[in-house]
Amino acid sequence: ALTGAEALLRWNDESAGSVDTAAIVATAERTGLIVPLGRWILAETIRQAVCLRDAGVLGDGMTVSVNISCHQLQSDDFVPDLVAMLDGSGLPPGSITVELTESAVMSDLFQARRRLRELEAYGIPLSIDDFGTGHSSLAYLRDLPVKELKLDRLFVADIGLDPVADVILRGVIDIAMGLGLQ
């Protein structure tokens, strides 16, 4: 059953074809455009989520996940902007899940903790994306208002093929379930 969706950035250039998403993000970060680009992505994600809800595709309890860069998270305008966008759209705050990579959280843990608690207070869920590939500190799972872990594909690619991969995957799932995470 469909449980949610994820907003993904894609760019197809007429002459160059599909442009690598990592290259788009790296260029936006290098040029300082990542925050306005991220704001546009949030606005577009919310607009699409409203369309999905109105079409009956996005039901109650379903969320649309959107990746947030560490630069966005560090911006003082990030939480107020997101809250204003959600309020203006009529979507409940729990309809959008903010996804962060471990490295984004760890780049400034103090700032991240503060921002994530602001999001939590508003009812916006948090997901750690590509869990297990960055700093992988289990301590921050206790300290941050995380609701979901998304395991990196490296952990799931060899399920059933590599007994070590199976043990690691089972262990991470057991930890997540023990902490009440999805």
Query: pLDDT (tens digit, 0 to 9) for every residue of the chain, 182 residues total?
Result: 788 899 998 989 899 899 988 888 889 989 989 999 999 999 999 999 999 999 999 888 899 999 998 888 888 899 999 999 999 999 998 899 999 876 666 667 777 788 889 999 999 998 887 776 665 567 667 777 778 878 777 777 888 888 888 888 888 888 888 888 88
Query: Residue 159: which H helix or E strand, with range?
Result: none
With a CB cutoff of 8 Å and minimum separation 6, the contacts of 139 are none
Contact (Cβ atoms closer than 8 angstroms) between residue 120 and residue 143? no
pTM score > 0.85 for this model?
no
Contact (Cβ atoms closer than 8 angstroms) between residue 113 and residue 144? yes
Please, what is the Cα angle at 106 between 31 and 120, to 5 degrees?
100
- The pLDDT value recorded for residue 119 is 92
- The pLDDT value recorded for residue 137 is 62
